[in-house]
Amino acid sequence: MDAAEFRVKAKEVVDFIADYMETIENRRVSPDVNPGYLINSVPKDAPEGPESFEDIMKDFKNIILPGILHHQHPLFNAYFPLGHSFASILGTMLSDGIGGISTSWAISPACTELEMVVTDWLGKLVSLPKQFLHEGGEGGGSIQGSGSECIFLALSAAKRHAQQNTAERAPRLVAYISCLANICVQKACSLGSVILRQIEVDENLSLSVEALKKSIMIDKSNGLDPFFVCATVGTTSCCSFDDVYELSEMCEKENLWLHVDAAYAGCALICPEFHYLINGKENISSISFNPHKWLLTTTECAVLWVKNKKSLNDCLAANATYLQHKHQAETTDFRNWGIGITRPFRALKLWFVLRLYGISGLQEFIRRHIKLAKRMKDHIESNHVFEIVGKSNLGLVAFCIKGPSKLTTTLLRNINESGNLHLTEASVNGRSVIRYVVCAEKAKEKDVDFAWSVISSAADGIFSARG
């Protein structure tokens, strides 16, 4: 394909994307296919010669699309928002088009410096202390591919720090999280070969600080080495918040690394009214959240800030001769801030989103989603069959049917099998709950009301069947 043909075909792809987004609400939310549907519909071997663009697009529409769960559909209310916007797509197109990478400053100075700029923009916007900024601080932010990577990197830095402080012996390291923390923390601890304690939650579904203190005391008495606490701001199951201030005071006293995982809810920190969620931020060691969840930025855009960049460099530095350059003493090389050496130009799409929407546009988007979630909460509370689980925070409402958990599980299955709405289930203290999350950028009140009609009708069906 030469440049002339690319111009034509690229326009066709752009037109398809625009049409897809404009008409997405006319599609079934979830795919209606069985395992193996695609494998049995395509050749067993790659083509010997080139095929036409027209044939590829035909197969894309007839084979690929039927197996897609449409995350941007206004009635997709599962998991968390999957960041998506025309602004981000434009930035991604340019990033892919120029093929820029940020392995080191010398390889593409703009890639490195723009990442520093946009992470500082975001850091200031969410009220992070100056220590966490590239601009005049000892730390800074970096864009990773996922929240899981951010957690693993924070844990790795904390582990190296703890090992250096107990150099006279091999430490037996212990990390602590809430029992409602995301499973990515469990994965990070497994990869890092450290012991993990899952601590009970209090009446607010927040990590119990008293239970944490007790667990730490017991571990110390048994010769173990507590070193890492992960606070969750916006749990996956019900969007509850750990008390960062209280945890930060305790971790400061115990000399523990405190990481704040705010994957979804951290995006709301761009609104000043939610800055209180990270009170105590002066004493945390690191924090991360995912613009690819709730800031309209496409996937692979999770931001990790550390108070001291040396903590990452100590455990991640990779300095081969062919990567050295004359400015490395005065510049940042992001290959030393993450797992990958070759890093895509992720900052460009976030830069496009921040500029094309502006702070006010993104704040309005967040606040509108929260208002729509409140509308669903009001619907649920109006029906005596249901109850809200937790406080129903931000754009998420967790609820269940009063009675045995199997009723809630059955309700969810019936809703999702209808193809009219897509929700997810979670467990809160052993109890099954359904999570309703406002996801689509242009979600409206009528979408919330329709979703409620599907939920309430499905519940009526369950109780009618039971007599």
φ, ψ of residue 231 to 5 degrees: the values are -90, 140
Interatomic CA distance for residues 100 and 94, integer angstroms:
9
Residue 176 near residue 212 (C-beta atoms within 8 A): yes
Q: In the beta sheet, which residues pair with residue 258? A: 229
Q: What is the pLDDT of residue 105?
A: 79
Give the residue carrying structure tokens 């203290």. 429
DSSP secondary structure letters along 8-45:
HHHHHHHHHHHHHHHHGGGS-SS----TTTTGGGS-SS
Q: What are phi and psi of 12, to 5 degrees?
A: -65, -40
Q: Which two tokens stand for residue 325?
A: 């350059």
Q: In the chain, where are the structural domains located? A: 100-344
Work out the burial of residue 163: count CB atoms within 10 Å of its CB; fewer than 13 is exposed, 13-18 middle, 19 or more buried.
middle
With a CB cutoff of 8 Å and minimum separation 6, the contacts of 254 are: 216, 226
Specify the DSSP class assigned to residue 241.
B
Q: What is the DSSP letter of 119?
A: H
Q: pTM here?
A: 0.94
Q: What is the pLDDT along the chain (467 residues), one digit of tens a residue?
A: 899 999 999 999 999 999 999 999 999 999 999 999 999 999 999 999 999 999 999 999 999 999 999 999 999 999 999 989 999 999 999 999 998 888 887 788 999 999 999 999 999 999 999 999 999 879 999 999 999 999 999 999 999 988 877 666 667 999 999 999 999 999 999 999 999 999 999 999 999 999 999 999 999 999 999 999 999 999 999 999 999 999 999 999 999 999 999 999 999 999 999 999 999 999 999 999 999 999 999 999 999 999 999 989 888 887 777 778 878 778 888 888 899 888 999 999 999 999 999 999 999 999 999 999 999 999 999 999 999 999 878 999 999 999 899 999 999 999 999 889 999 999 999 999 999 999 999 999 999 999 999 999 999 888 776 65
451 close to 306: Cβ distance less than 8 angstroms: no
Burial of 141 (0-12, 13-18, 19+ CB in 10 A): buried
Rounded CA gap, 343 and 320, in Å? 16
CB atoms inside a 10 Å sphere around CB 348: 24
Q: What is the CATH number of domain 100-344?
A: 3.40.640.10
Token pair of 343, please?
């890093």
State the pairing for strand pair 173-178/195-199: parallel
